[in-house]
Amino acid sequence: MADLPEGALMQRAAAGLAYAIIDFLRERGRGGAYGSRVALLVGSGDNGGDALYAGAILARRGARVEAVLLSDRAHEGGVAALRAAGGTVASGGVSTGSTSGGTDVVVDGIVGIGGKPGLRAEAEAALAMFEGAPVVSVDTPSGVCVDTGEVDGSHVSADLTVTFGTYKPCHLLDPAASASGRVELVDIGLDLPAPSVESLEAEDVAALVPRPAPDGHKYTRGVVGLRVGSATYPGAALLAVSGANTGLAGMVRYVGTAAEWVKRHNPEVVGDGQAQAWVVGSGSADGANSALAFARASGVPLVIDADSLRALTGPLGVPAILTPHAGELAALIREDRADVEARPLHYARLAAKRYHAVVLLKGRRTTIASPDPATPVRVNTTGTSWLATAGSGDVLGGLIGSLLAAGLAPIDAASAGAWLHGAAATLASAGGPVTASGVASAIPAVIRSLPAVSPRSR
- 114 labelled binding-site residue: no
- Cβ neighbours around 213 below 10 Å, total: 9
Q: How many CB atoms lie within 10 A of CB 313?
A: 6
Q: Are 443 and 241 in contact (CB under 8 A)?
A: no
The annotation status of 364 as a binding-site residue, yes or no, is yes
Instruction: Please give the order of strands across the beta sheet that includes 105-109.
Output: 88-90, 64-69, 37-42, 105-109, 135-138, 160-164, 182-186
393 is in an annotated binding site: yes
362 annotated to bind ligand = yes
List, in order, residues 6 or more apart from 68 with CB less than 8 Å away: 39, 40, 41, 42, 90, 93, 94, 95, 126, 129
- The reply, when asked if residue 334 is annotated as ligand binding, is no
Contact assessment for residue 381 and residue 203, using Cβ atoms and an 8 Å cutoff: no
d(CA 210, CA 455): 11
In DSSP terms, 370 is beta-bridged to: none
Determine the length of the chain: 458
227 is in an annotated binding site: no
Please name the residues in contact with 76: beta carbons below 8 A apart, sequence gap of 6 or more: none
Question: Residue 283, annotated ligand binder?
Answer: yes
Which residues 6+ apart lie within 8 Å of 134 measured at CB?
Answer: 24, 28, 104, 105, 106, 159, 160
Query: Does the annotation place 325 within a ligand binding site?
Result: yes
- Ligand-binding annotation for 354, yes or no, is no
Provide the pairing of β-strand 135-138 with 160-164.
Answer: parallel
- Residues with Cβ < 8 Å from 285, sequence gap 6 or more? 230, 231, 232, 233, 307
353 is in an annotated binding site: no
Q: Which residues contact 449 (CB under 8 A, 6 or more apart)?
A: none
- 3 state DSSP class of 368: strand
Asked if 195 and 245 count as a contact pair (C-beta separation under 8 A), the reply is: no
Compute the distance between CA of residue 404 and CA of residue 292 in angstroms, rounded to an integer. Answer: 17
Q: Please tell me the distance from the alpha carbon of residue 323 to that of residue 304, in angstroms, as a whole number.
A: 6
Residues at the annotated binding site for AMP? 362-366, 393
Residues at the annotated binding site? 236, 283, 325, 362-366, 393-394
Residues at the annotated binding site for (6S)-NADPHX? 236, 283, 325, 394
